[in-house]
Structure formats: C-alpha cells, structure tokens
Amino acid sequence: MDIFLNYLWAFIVGGLLCVIAQVLIDKTKLTPARILVLYVCAGVLLTGIGVYEYIVSFAGAGATVPLTGFGYTIAKGVREAVNKDGLLGALTGGLGQTAGGIAGALCFGFLVSLVFSSKPKK
Amino acid sequence: MEQGIIKLKREPKIISSYSVVGNKEHSGPLGELFDEYCQDDKFGKDSWEKSESEMQRRALCGAIKKSGLIDTELDVLLAGDLLNQCVGSNYSITNFDIPYLGLYGACSTCAEGLAIGACLYSGGIINSCGVMTSSHYCSSERQFRFPLEYGGQRTPTAQWTATGAGAFILGDEGRIKISEALFGKAIDKGISDVNNMGAAMAPAAIDTIKRYFLQSNHSPEDFDLIITGDLGYEGSEILKDLLLGYGVDIRKNHTDCGLMLFDRERQDVHAGASGCGCSAVVMSADIIPNLEKGVLKDVLFIGTGALMSPMSLYQGGTIPAVAHLVRLRSE
Amino acid sequence: MNEKEYSEYVQGRAKKSPILKNCAFAFLFGGLICTIGQALNDLYTYFGFEKEISGTLVSITLIFIACLLTGIGVFDNIAKIAGAGTLVPITGFANAVASQAVDTKSEGYIMGVGAKIFTIAGPVILYATLSGAIYGVIYYIITLIGG
C-alpha cells in the first residue's frame, strides 16, 4: 500500500508542477525557455527556505524529476559543500551534484546528432 | 499623384510561371496543380538552406523553359526569400546567366518583385525579367523559431511556413498583363507576438487596400478576386472587419493564399500558411492559370510581409509589416 | 485605432489556446513521466545503488530516453499534445539540448553542434548555477552568524 501511495503522490505532484507551467504558457507571455529558468530558480529558492525537501519527502520523483528538482539538487549540493569547504562551496557544490544530468544530456545529445538528422514535419 | 497608384503605360505580360513545393503542400487542396514537388522536402540536398536554393533553381528553370526564352534573354532577375542574407536566392541564381537584384519583403516578396519588374518594364528600362521567391518550412523554423525536433506547442493563431518556390517570367507575350501597382508603406501597430503574424500584417494590407480604393475609381465589386498573401485566417478576418469600418467591403470576393494552400483542420496548420513561397506558388499554380483560361479577368493581388527579426524582438521591438499591390488582368 | 486599441482588439478576438485540454494532458504526461522516474528509482535502489546515485541514474535514464525520442523524430509529436507535461520534467531539458544538436550539425561539429547545443539549455544552466551560488553565499553568512 505504501508503495502505491508513493507512486500516486509522484504522479500528482509531478503532474501539478506541469499544470502550473501550462497555465503560465497559455495565460501569460512567458516563453517555454523563461519558464524553465523560472522553475530552476524557484527550486533553489524553495529548497533554501526548506519547503522543497518536505515535498521531495513524500512525492519522491514527482518533485525531483521536474526542473524544480534540478534547482533542488543544486541547492542541496551547495549547502553540503558550504558545510564542508566554507564559502568555496557556493561555487563548487551546485554543478557538482548535477554533473551527471548535464553531462548525460550533452553526451547523448551529441551522439544523437551523429546518428540522426532533422526531419521535415507533417 | 504622389505616392499614388502606378498606372503602367506599357503593361508587361506574365509569359509563364512555375511552382515547386514540398510534400505537405502537395497533399493539400491545391496539390495536383503544382508543377513539381519533392517527397522528402530535401530536393536532394544535405541542408535545409541548400534545399531551398535547389527548389528555387528548379522553379526558375521550369519557368524559363515554359516561356520559350533562354536565360540570357532576361534583362534582370528579381528574387528574394526569408533567410539571412537571402541565401536561398543568392545561391540559386549562380546557376543562371542573368543580372540579379536581391529583394527582402518577407511574404510580400512575390508581389514586390512583380511590381518592381512591371515598373521597370513600363519605363522601357527592360524588356523582360524573372521574378522568384521561396520559403522552406525547415530553414525558416530553424532561423526564426526553434530547432525542428524541439517539442513545443503552437497557438491557434500561429501560421505554418510553406515549403515552396515560385518563379514568373515577365515580357511582351501572354494573355495576363500587370496594369497597376501600388507599393506599400511599412506599418507597425505594435504587435510582437510571433504566433500571430496575421494580426501584425493586417494593418499594412488595410493601409494599401484603403489607399487603392481611395485613389482609384473602383469599388471592390469591380474585381473578380481580391487576394492577399498570406494573412491566414486571423489576419484575413481582421482585414475584412476593419476595412468595413472604412467603408470598404471586400467580404464577397476576398480570399487569402494562406487559406488556400493547406486544409487547416486536416493538416493541423492552425491559422493557415505563410512564407514567401506560399503566395508565389498559389499565384503560379491556381490564380495565373485561371486568369489565362479567362475564369478570372481582373484580380488584385496584395502581398503582405511581416518584417520580423528575432533579434529585434529580443530587444523589445515589435513587428513592422508591408503590403504591395499589383493588378492582374487577362485579355 | 492607435497601437493600444489595436492590440486590445487583436487579443480580444484571437482564439485562445484550449487551456483545460492542455492542462489535462500536461497533468497526465507530466505525472506519468514522474511516476516512471519513481519506478526507475525503486528499481535502482532494489539493485543496491545508494539513494543519491539512484537519483542521478534516474535523471540520466530519462535524459537518454528523451534524447533518443528526439533523434528519431518522435519527441516533438508527443510534446505537441503534452505541452508542459514533457517540457517541465528533465525530458524537456534533454530535448532542448538534443534538438539543437541534431539541427545544427549542418554547420559542422564545432560552430554548429558545439556552439549551439546550449542555445535553449544554456539559460537554465546559467541561472541554476547563479541562483545556487547566491544561495551558497547567503547560507554561508547564516552559518557564520548562527554558529
């Protein structure tokens, strides 16, 4: 039963984060690129004030997979690094934690460009 | 009259025209009418910009062949497209032995070229010329919007850039003549939404059409067709609605190239087609043959162009637009 | 009609995006992607990976799938329906990177793919890093005062 609840919360929280972005796209002049930037910054902010960790605790991937989770990972990494290395951690902590994701996107993106070409749209 | 309608004393004839389109255009309502199409939109080239150039090359080859002339008999070629530095045209015309003038009028390029060519002919400066323009969905999307494989949603007012090239040969022979031209002014009504180009272009079309009927003794009913290209659904509705406010009612005989090229519902193109190539191929494949057959006798063609630059929009700018008018008559 | 009146007139008559339908699809697709993420996370944990490592592996797996779907030309067809449902999860970030890479290879692998791969994803990385650094400085000051 617990595992079912985990999945349900992941679905609901992840879905809701997307709905908020959809409303912003359709109702305001915010472009998708601006919304993504807004989302990572919001993730850092919410983690900073301690809210996001609470959401992650029950929503799991529903909170970490959306781009706000990218901001959460950055803020968490920065905090740990500051605890360990002092002020230098503000620069070393963020990208260190997200390196896997960024490097993954770059490498897979590059590999995909080796194999595929863009296609005309129907 | 200053800034007035140019009544051409020596009227050039449209000797021939030729249209080349992509696959989506070929599966649209006018599909069978186009002279040539390409299944994969690549035209045998390895980049979309080169594909667009190749499309133009084929269009001009076809038009010259149909006209019975050879390229060295043309006094000048007026060509342009949407791409930076007009590379679509610059690289296609190197295949021909014709003096070249590059044009940029966005989607109005077809009308702009016809109007300039007609004026040069009327003034006795040239005896023949070529007019050509193109747009390619894939090259435009890359330059003006997002990469082709980027996942995004379009709004209901967005238009779909046509893949197509049209070429026209003007000279002494033929049944269709260009009898009047009116150059448009650049009009900016403060629209900055790239997903509503129709609204950005409509004010330019309104200005040009209003000036035409104010200065001529004609009323809209005198024409078989008043065709704009390419306002799409949104822009066409705005045009008809606002012109009515100025006492010009074009609702009965107006149509728009952007509404003719695709089946808006079936082909999921939202407000319709756009791009230089749209009006060029619709004119070449549908309107001009109908003028030749005499089904249409007197047509006003108003090419409308949104002079949009992504850089200016990032700087907080808006989208100016321009609309050029030519009157086509068949004898 | 001045500019302001015209823009109000245009906005008043323009057909609006079907927001309810869009939101429903965004919810379904976004929720589904996150649920898949949760399932992958449980799977990796089951195989004995640490919590942190599992999280990173989930991101990398979803990014790989999104890049592949972008390459074979399917991602944009899904996104047309899903809207923010595919944009907001890490898949949207991956698609932004991969679509640029595929699209710009005609300009070569240095000035094309290499230079343009960050066009859409760059702002995200920049502002994520920047806001993280600002948070780090603030957090550092708080620890100084507090401890």
- Give ∠ CA B173-B178-B180 in degrees, rounded to 5: 150
Residue-wise pLDDT tens digits, A15-48: 999 999 999 999 988 888 999 999 999 999 999 9
Q: How far apart are the C-alpha atoms of B99 and B79, rounded to whole Å?
A: 11
Confidence of residue B37 (pLDDT cuts 50, 70, 90): very high
B295 or B331: whose pLDDT is higher?
A: B295
User: pLDDT value at position B110?
Assistant: 98
Confidence of residue A1 (pLDDT cuts 50, 70, 90): low
B1 within a domain of the structure (yes/no): no
B146 and B277 belong to one structural domain:
no
Q: Does C137 touch chain A (CB under 8 A)?
A: yes
- Which residues of chain C neighbour A11 with C-beta distances below 8 Å? 31-32, 34-35
pTM of the model: 0.95
CA C49 to chain centre: 25
User: pLDDT value at position C1?
Assistant: 86
User: pLDDT value at position A2?
Assistant: 80
Residue-wise pLDDT tens digits, B80-119: 999 999 999 999 999 999 999 999 999 999 999 999 999 9
B147, B153, B163 member nearest A118 (Cβ): B147
Q: Does the pLDDT at position C109 exceed 80? A: yes
Confidence of residue C147 (pLDDT cuts 50, 70, 90): low
Q: How far apart are the C-alpha atoms of A55 and A52, rounded to whole Å?
A: 5
Residues linked to residue B187 through DSSP beta bridges, in sequence order: B321
Residue-wise pLDDT tens digits, B152-172: 999 999 999 999 999 999 999
User: How far does the CA of residue B238 sit from the closest CA of chain C (Å)?
Assistant: 8
B32 and B164 belong to one structural domain:
yes
| Contacts across the B-C interface (CB distance below 8 Å) | 86
Confidence of residue B64 (pLDDT cuts 50, 70, 90): very high
A120 within a domain of the structure (yes/no): no
| Amino acid identity for residue B57 in this structure | R
User: pLDDT value at position B1?
Assistant: 54
A25, A32, A119 member nearest B148 (Cβ): A119
CA C101 to chain centre: 16
Give chain A's domain count.
1
Residue numbers of the domain that contains B76: 6-171
Residue numbers of the domain that contains A96: 2-115
| Contacts across the A-C interface (CB distance below 8 Å) | 271
Are the beta carbons of C89 and A22 closer than 8 angstroms? no
Residue-wise pLDDT tens digits, B301-325: 999 999 999 999 999 999 999 999 9
B148 within a domain of the structure (yes/no): yes
Are the beta carbons of B231 and B247 closer than 8 angstroms? no
Q: Does B148 touch chain C (CB under 8 A)?
A: yes
Q: How far apart are the C-alpha atoms of B183 and C66, rounded to whole Å?
A: 49
Q: Where are the beta strands (DSSP E) in C18-131?
A: none
B230 cis-preceded (ω within 30 degrees of 0) = yes
Are the beta carbons of B33 and B285 closer than 8 angstroms? yes
Q: How far apart are the C-alpha atoms of B97 and B94, rounded to whole Å?
A: 8
Q: How far apart are the C-alpha atoms of B19 and B70, rounded to whole Å?
A: 18
CATH classification at residue B49? 3.40.47.40
B115 and B202 belong to one structural domain:
no
B322 within a domain of the structure (yes/no): yes
Q: Do A119 and B149 touch (CB under 8 A)?
A: yes
ipTM of the complex: 0.94
Report the mean per-residue pLDDT for chain B.
96
Q: How far apart are the C-alpha atoms of B70 and B97, rounded to whole Å?
A: 9
Q: Which residue of B has its CA nearest to C4?
A: B190
